[in-house]
Amino acid sequence: MALAPARGTPWWIGLSWLPPLVLRGLPRVGALALATGMTVFFRDPERAAEGPGLLAPADGLVRQVELRDGRWFVSTYLALYNVHVTRMPCDATVVTQTHVEGPHKLAFADDAHVNERMEWTLATPHGELGMVQFSGAAARRIVPYVGAGAEVSRGDRIGLIRFGSRVDLLLPPGVEPAVAEGIRVRAGETVIAR
């Protein structure tokens, strides 16, 4: 009968009853699981737009669509299993890009608007487009691929938000959403506004 390990003994000592072959394989299984998880999370598939209009900037669930001071606001929540590469909704020039420090609350929470974020102002053929990438509770870093002054085409990759997040759009005046709350969208593919 195996005795319980003494206090202060590393936890893996309690696994000494396992056959040596299994013990040698455990780190490999753990490393393989971690590598598989990272590969799935950081995937970046090619995308083709479904039609004319502004494209979804992120994969995920549309959590909010509302009219704010005459402009439509569309918010998309990205779960851990979504692709986290952000794409440009339409042809645009990056006017400003501002990183704002903040906490790391759950991205779907009502008070997540104070989270760490990257605020974008974009000049488009349709008018000014506002976009904000938010970090979440697990997301700790927003990585922009382009900076102020960059001219970007519709569907181009413009950044990455690591490990769960949210992307908000403030559409140009006169542009109306083509999605509703609860709809799942795919970045660079789903038309989000016309």
Amino acid identity of 144? P
Helix (H) or strand (E) holding 36: helix 20-41
Q: Residue 78 corresponds to which tokens in the numbers above?
A: 């990205």
Q: If you search the block for the tokens 């790391």, which residue do you land on? A: 104
Q: Specify whether 165 is catalytic.
A: yes
Spatial distance between the Cα atoms of 5 and 53, rounded to a whole number of angstroms: 64
**Cα 165–Cα 85–Cα 173 angle in degrees, nearest 5:** 75
Contact 58, 167 (CB under 8 A): yes
Spatial distance between the Cα atoms of 24 and 29, rounded to a whole number of angstroms: 10
Spatial distance between the Cα atoms of 41 and 21, rounded to a whole number of angstroms: 31
**Catalytic residue list:** 165
